[in-house]
Amino acid sequence: MFITFEGPDGSGKTTQVHLLYRYLKEQGYPVYLAREPGGTRIGDQIRAVLHDVRNVEMRPEAEILLYSASRAQLVGQVIRPRLAAGDIVLCDRYAESTLAYQGYGRQLDLATLQIITRFATGGLRPDLIIYLDIPVEEGLRRRLAAHQQDGAEWNRMDQETVDFHRRVRAGYLQMAQTEPERWCVLDASQPVDVIQQRIREEVLARLEGA
Ligand code: TYD
């Protein structure tokens, strides 16, 4: 089973994916946690290029190809072998981030992005997408607070306009609406433990049904 976590910046999905990872491990499930961009030695090098705030001249076309290159490496080197070995694979962001950020956010052609994504992943799609939804202003406020208080990373996407992040969120909601059986949409303004409980219920129901 392949489960991905998606959401606008500051939605708390990284916290939630770690909590789920620990929980499944404690329950005795074989589980692997990956993240994007990065998750492999090569992918981490690509991540550094993508996130460097000095890279202001990066073309949107270069950006999507770099995210896709990182993903191709992760899928081939890690995710497919883990799934084949019977692990549950959790991934902090995946292809839907590209559609949301580069497609809806940067307004690149969605059909082209889908072709590139299919090529990069060999068509591997998540069984379940946990989407943590948060209003843009609240997400950005949390993100800035984490950066200022805890030294959390501030990357090229964080520099983007509020309108960009609004398009990203609207894109996610549209994708979720189109394929409701694959998406689990949760209100990320709820307390962490309430959200985690809902995620566990959803995942266990699918594991038991599988
Ligand atoms: P990251 O530091 O992993 O933050 P987060 O905790 O929000 O996941 O940064 C990833 C950033 O890269 C985030 O702003 C979303 C963006 N991104 C894309 O634009 N396209 C993609 O395909 C992926 C995977 C991420």
Q: Which stretches of the chain drop beneath a pLDDT of 70?
A: 210
Residue 22: alpha-carbon gap to chain centroid? 18
Domains in the chain, CATH or no CATH each: 2-209 (3.40.50.300)
Which pLDDT does position 158 carry in this prediction?
84
* 129 CA → ligand 1 middle, Å: 15
Which pLDDT does position 154 carry in this prediction?
87
DSSP class per residue in 4-48: EEE-STTS-HHHHHHHHHHHHHHTT--EEEEESS-SSHHHHHHHH
**Cα–Cα distance for residue pair 180/175, rounded to 1 Å:** 8
Do the beta carbons of residue 16 and residue 4 sit within 8 Å? no
- With CA atoms as reference, report the closest residue to 125 among 80, 185, 166: 80
Which pLDDT does position 111 carry in this prediction?
98
- With CA atoms as reference, report the closest residue to 198 among 32, 26, 27, 20: 20
Tokens standing for 192? Answer: 């962490």
- Residue-wise pLDDT for 117-143, tens only, equals 999 999 999 999 999 999 999 999 998
- With CA atoms as reference, report the closest residue to 123 among 177, 166, 80, 156: 80
Residue 208: which residues within 8 A CB-CB, separation 6 or more? Answer: none
Which pLDDT does position 159 carry in this prediction?
85
- Residue-wise pLDDT for 177-190, tens only, equals 999 999 999 999 99
Helices (H) and strands (E) in the chain, counts: 9, 5
Do the beta carbons of residue 34 and residue 78 sit within 8 Å? yes
**Residues contacting ligand 1 via CB (< 6 Å):** 9, 14, 36-37, 67, 93, 97-98, 101-102, 153, 155, 157
Do the beta carbons of residue 89 and residue 1 sit within 8 Å? yes
* 164 CA → ligand 1 middle, Å: 14
Which pLDDT does position 209 carry in this prediction?
85
* 36 CA → ligand 1 middle, Å: 7
